[in-house]
Chain A
Amino acid sequence: MSLSLWWWLAARVSAALVVGFLAGLPFGYPAIGVAVVAVAVLVRMLYLLRSTQRWLRGFNNAAPPDAGGAWGELIGLVARLQRRKQYHKRRLMRLLRELRRSTAAIPDGVVVLNPQGEILWFNRMAARLLHLRARTDVGLRIENLVRQPEFIRYMRSGEYTLPVVVSATIDKDLFLQIHLVPYGDGQSLMLVRDVTRAQRLEAMRKDFVANASHELRSPLTVIAGYLESLGQDPSLDPALAGPVAEMRRQSTRMTSIIEDLLSLSRLEAGDGAAERTPIDVVGLIELLHRDLGARLAQGTRVQVDITSTVRLLGDEAQIHSAFANLVDNAAKYTPQGGVITLRWSSDATGALFSVQDTGIGIGPEHIPRLTERFYRVDPGRSRATGGSGLGLAIVKHVLQRHGATLEITSSEGHGSTFSCHFPIDRLVTESREA
C-alpha cells in the first residue's frame, strides 16, 4: 500500500471531522458535531472490518466488501494473494492427481509404508494382490495383513537387497514376489508382483532336469556294462580296441555328469537350511588326503594344515561331496611337481576350509562366473580333463544350505585358492560334543 493512500485516508478523516466541527458550530456545539462524525467514521470502519472478516472466513460465499481507498487496496491485495494461492493449489492438485493416476496404473502392486510399517497409500493392483481394502486399511501395519511367516521374517530382517517370494494365503497356486525399497526418512516402498508363471516354469525346469537325468541313467548303465565286457573280450578285433576304450571313457564321463545333475537337482529340491549333524572335519580331510595320494601324478605333493578341531554342524554327505569337488579340481589342474594344500582353521567369527593349488590359475574375468553350470574357462581343456562342469555349482549350493560362502582367489600361472567360510553358529567344539 503506497504511502500517499495513508495521507489520503488521513485527509479524508480530518476533512470529515472539520465538516462535523463546522456543522456543529451554528448550534453552538462543535464538539458534539466532531464526536458524531468520529462515531460515524468508527462505525463505518467496524462495518468494513466485519464484512472483511466474514469474507475471509468464507461465510455464505460472501463477495469481497465494496470499499474504496485504503480498505479497498487492502482487500484487493488479500484477494490477489488468495487467487494466486488457489492457482498454485490447483496446479499441485492436478500434478498430484496425475502422479497418483500413473502409479495406480502401474501393473505391479505398490504400497507406501511409514517407518513403523504402517500403510500410507497403495494402488489398485496392490489391493487386488494382497486383498487390501482402500477405505479401512490405511494406517494399519502391513505385517498384520500380509501375515506369511516368510514375509514377516523378511520384513524384520532389515535386509532388503533381494525380494522375497511368498505364496498367497487363500489361493495356494498364486505366488507373489515382494520387494521392499527403503527411501526418505525410513519410509519404504513395497513392490508386489505376481510371479506365478515364472515360479511354475522354474518348478517345471527342475522337474524336467531331475526326471531326464533319472531316465538317462538306466540305459547308460546297460551301455557301460556291455562296453566293459567288450573291452575285456580277448577275441575283440585289435583295430576296435582303441574306439571301445574311448567309448568306455566317454560313458564314464556321461555317468558322472548325470550323477552331478541328479545331486544338484536334489540340492535344489530340498529347500531351507541343511540338517545339523556334527561332522568330524579333521577325519574328512584325512580321508580326502588318502584318496588324493592314490591318484596324483608322481612328484606332486599334498600338504595338510589343520589348526582346529571344531566340528561342523551340517549334512555329512553334502559336505563331503563339496570338499571332494574342490580337492578334485585342485588335483586336475595342478601339474607335476606342484603342491596342494588343504587347510582347516577356526576363530571367533567362524571356520575356514581351503584348498590351495599351484596350478595354472584362473583369469579374473572368469572368477565371478565359475559357479555357473557348465561354465568352461577353456572349453577344449576342460573336456580333456573330463569334468562334468557342475562341480562348483554343487559346491555353491551345498555351502548356501550351510550358510557358508565360497571365496575364490587366483592369479594366472601361480595357482588358485578356494576357501569355504562357515559361520560360527554352524560349529561345535569337540568337548561340548563329548
Chain B
Amino acid sequence: MEAADLSHHTSRRFNEDLERVRSKVLAMGGLVEEQLAGALNALIDGDSQLGQAIAKKDYQVNGMEVSIDEECSRILATRAPAAGDLRMIVATIKTITDLERIGDECEKIALIAARLANDERPADHYREVKHLGRITRTMVHQALDAFARLDAELAITTARSDRVVDEEYEAIQRQSITFMMEDPRSIRRALDIMWVVRAMERIGDHAKNVCEYVIYMVHGKDVRHTSLERVEQEIRSRNARP
C-alpha cells in the first residue's frame, strides 16, 4: 500500500468524507498541542490564570472526540469502507482516544501549574521539566505530522524517542527523591512535580500509540506490543521487495 493511494478514490464524496475526518483529527491534534504548550508555559512561568484557562478548555478536546467518533461510525455504517480506507477509519478512532487522553493529562498539568504558581519557584526554574516538556511536545507534533503525511518512517523515529522520555522521567524522579531527602519542606512541591512529569511520560506513550496507528494505516501491520527494531526490519524488507 503506497501512501498516495489513500488519497485517490473512485467516489468523490467518499473521498471528501475521509479527507474531512482526517482534517478534523488533525485540528483536534492542533488543539491538543496548544493545550500542552499552554499547560507547560503555565507551569514554567508560574501563571495561575493561564493554568485555569487551559484546564477549562479541555471540554473542547472532548467535544471534538465525540464528533469525530460519530462521523467515523457514520462512514462505517453508510460506506462500508474496505482495505486502506477501513484501516484509516480504525486508526482514526484509536488516534482520537489517545489524543483525548493527552488532553486529559494536559488538564492535569494545568491544574497543578495553577496551584504551584502561588508557591515559591524552585531554584532551578524547572530546567529538567522544561527539557522533558520540549521532548514530549516535539513527539506529539511529529506523531501528528506523520499522521498528516502518512509517513511511516517519521512514525518509527518518533515512536523511538519515547525511550528518551522514559529516561528523562526516571532522571527527574531520582532528582526529586534527592530533593525530598534534603529538605522535607519541599516534599509537597516535589510530589506535585512528580505528577506533572508522570503526566508527560504518559503523553509520550500516547504519542507513541498514535505513531503505531500511522504504521498500521500505511502498512496494514499491527505493531503494538512489538519491538521497534522488528517493525523496522519488516517494513524495510517489505519495501525492498518489488
- Please tell me if the beta carbons of B34 and A149 are within 8 angstroms of each other in the complex: yes
Mask, B105-149, CB within 8 Å of A = 1, is 000000000000000000000000000001001100100110011
- Please tell me if the beta carbons of A147 and B29 are within 8 angstroms of each other in the complex: yes
Which of A11-19, A33-41, A56-64, A132-140 is the interface stretch?
A: A132-140
Q: Which residues of A contact B67 (CB under 8 A)?
A: none
Chain A: interface residue total (CB-CB under 8 A): 19
- Please tell me if the beta carbons of B37 and A143 are within 8 angstroms of each other in the complex: no
- Please tell me if the beta carbons of B41 and A172 are within 8 angstroms of each other in the complex: yes
With both chains docked as a complex, state the minimum distance between the C-beta of A172 and any C-beta of chain B, in angstroms.
6
With both chains docked as a complex, state the minimum distance between the C-beta of A286 and any C-beta of chain B, in angstroms.
34
- Please tell me if the beta carbons of A139 and B148 are within 8 angstroms of each other in the complex: no
- With contacts A144-B148, A172-B37 known, what are 19 further pairs, Cβ within 8 A? A131-B145, A141-B19, A143-B23, A144-B23, A145-B145, A147-B26, A147-B29, A147-B144, A148-B30, A149-B27, A149-B31, A149-B34, A152-B30, A169-B33, A169-B137, A169-B141, A170-B137, A170-B138, A170-B141
CA distance A137 to B7 in the complex (A): 13
User: What is B's interface to A at a CB cutoff of 8 Å?
Assistant: 7, 19, 22-23, 26-27, 29-31, 33-34, 37, 41, 134, 137-138, 141, 144-145, 148-149, 151
Contacts A137-B149, A172-B41 given; does A143 touch B27 at CB 8 Å: yes
Q: Which residues of B contact A147 (CB under 8 A)?
A: 26-27, 29-30, 33, 144
Query: Which of A232-271 touch B at CB < 8 Å?
Result: none
- Please tell me if the beta carbons of A144 and B33 are within 8 angstroms of each other in the complex: no
Nearest A-chain residue to B137, judged by Cβ? A170
With both chains docked as a complex, state the minimum distance between the C-beta of A366 and any C-beta of chain B, in angstroms.
38
Q: Which residues of A contact B148 (CB under 8 A)?
A: 140, 144-145
With both chains docked as a complex, state the minimum distance between the C-beta of A235 and any C-beta of chain B, in angstroms.
51
Q: Which residues of B contact A172 (CB under 8 A)?
A: 37, 41
Q: Which residues of A contact B29 (CB under 8 A)?
A: 147
Query: Which of A121-170 touch B at CB < 8 Å?
Result: 131, 133, 136-137, 139-141, 143-145, 147-149, 151-152, 167, 169-170
Nearest B-chain residue to A272, judged by Cβ? B53
CA distance A133 to B154 in the complex (A): 12
Query: Which has the most chain A C-beta neighbours within 10 Å: B23, B27, B41, B149?
Result: B27
CA distance A305 to B29 in the complex (A): 51
Query: Which of A96-141 touch B at CB < 8 Å?
Result: 131, 133, 136-137, 139-141
Q: Which residues of B contact A144 (CB under 8 A)?
A: 22-23, 26, 148
- Please tell me if the beta carbons of A136 and B149 are within 8 angstroms of each other in the complex: yes
With both chains docked as a complex, state the minimum distance between the C-beta of B188 and any C-beta of chain A, in angstroms.
28
Query: Which has the most chain B C-beta neighbours within 10 Å: A133, A147, A169, A172?
Result: A147
Q: Which residues of A contact B34 (CB under 8 A)?
A: 148-149
Contacts A136-B149, A144-B148, A169-B37 given; does A149 touch B137 at CB 8 Å: no
Q: Which residues of B contact A140 (CB under 8 A)?
A: 148-149
Q: Which residues of A contact B7 (CB under 8 A)?
A: 139
CA distance A144 to B33 in the complex (A): 13
Q: Which residues of B contact A149 (CB under 8 A)?
A: 27, 30-31, 34
Main secondary structure of the interface of A (DSSP, over half): loop
CA distance A133 to B22 in the complex (A): 19
With both chains docked as a complex, state the minimum distance between the C-beta of B43 and any C-beta of chain A, in angstroms.
13
With both chains docked as a complex, state the minimum distance between the C-beta of A338 and any C-beta of chain B, in angstroms.
45
CA distance A131 to B27 in the complex (A): 17
Q: Which residues of A contact B138 (CB under 8 A)?
A: 170
Nearest B-chain residue to A145, judged by Cβ? B148
Q: Which residues of A contact B144 (CB under 8 A)?
A: 147
Nearest A-chain residue to B57, judged by Cβ? A149
- Please tell me if the beta carbons of B30 and A136 are within 8 angstroms of each other in the complex: no
With both chains docked as a complex, state the minimum distance between the C-beta of B61 and any C-beta of chain A, in angstroms.
10
A-B contacts, 21 of them at CB < 8 A, read A136-B149, A136-B151, A139-B7, A140-B149, A141-B19, A141-B23, A143-B23, A144-B148, A145-B145, A145-B149, A147-B30, A147-B33, A148-B34, A149-B27, A149-B30, A149-B31, A152-B27, A169-B33, A169-B37, A169-B141, A170-B137
> Which of B26, B137, B141 is in CB contact (< 8 Å) with A143?
B26
Q: Which residues of B contact A169 (CB under 8 A)?
A: 33, 37, 137, 141
Q: Which residues of B contact A139 (CB under 8 A)?
A: 7
Q: Which residues of B contact A136 (CB under 8 A)?
A: 149, 151
6 residue pairs, one from A and one from B, having the closest CB atoms:
A147-B30, A144-B148, A144-B26, A149-B31, A152-B27, A169-B141
Nearest B-chain residue to A141, judged by Cβ? B23
Q: Which residues of A contact B30 (CB under 8 A)?
A: 147-149, 151-152
Nearest A-chain residue to B27, judged by Cβ? A152
Mask, A55-99, CB within 8 Å of B = 1, is 000000000000000000000000000000000000000000000
CA distance A191 to B144 in the complex (A): 23
Nearest B-chain residue to A133, judged by Cβ? B149
Q: Which residues of A contact B22 (CB under 8 A)?
A: 144
CA distance A137 to B34 in the complex (A): 23
CA distance A152 to B32 in the complex (A): 13
Nearest B-chain residue to A172, judged by Cβ? B37
Q: Which residues of B contact A152 (CB under 8 A)?
A: 27, 30
With both chains docked as a complex, state the minimum distance between the C-beta of A137 and any C-beta of chain B, in angstroms.
7
Nearest B-chain residue to A271, judged by Cβ? B53
With both chains docked as a complex, state the minimum distance between the C-beta of B240 and any C-beta of chain A, in angstroms.
20
CA distance A133 to B148 in the complex (A): 12
With both chains docked as a complex, state the minimum distance between the C-beta of A224 and any C-beta of chain B, in angstroms.
32
With both chains docked as a complex, state the minimum distance between the C-beta of A155 and any C-beta of chain B, in angstroms.
10
CA distance A145 to B31 in the complex (A): 13
Q: Which residues of A contact B134 (CB under 8 A)?
A: 170
Nearest B-chain residue to A146, judged by Cβ? B30
Mask, A330-353, CB within 8 Å of B = 1, is 000000000000000000000000
Nearest B-chain residue to A151, judged by Cβ? B30
Q: Which residues of A contact B23 (CB under 8 A)?
A: 141, 143-144
Q: Which residues of A contact B33 (CB under 8 A)?
A: 147-148, 169
CA distance A152 to B151 in the complex (A): 22
Nearest A-chain residue to B149, judged by Cβ? A136
CA distance A169 to B149 in the complex (A): 17
Q: Which residues of A contact B145 (CB under 8 A)?
A: 131, 145
Q: Which residues of B contact A131 (CB under 8 A)?
A: 145
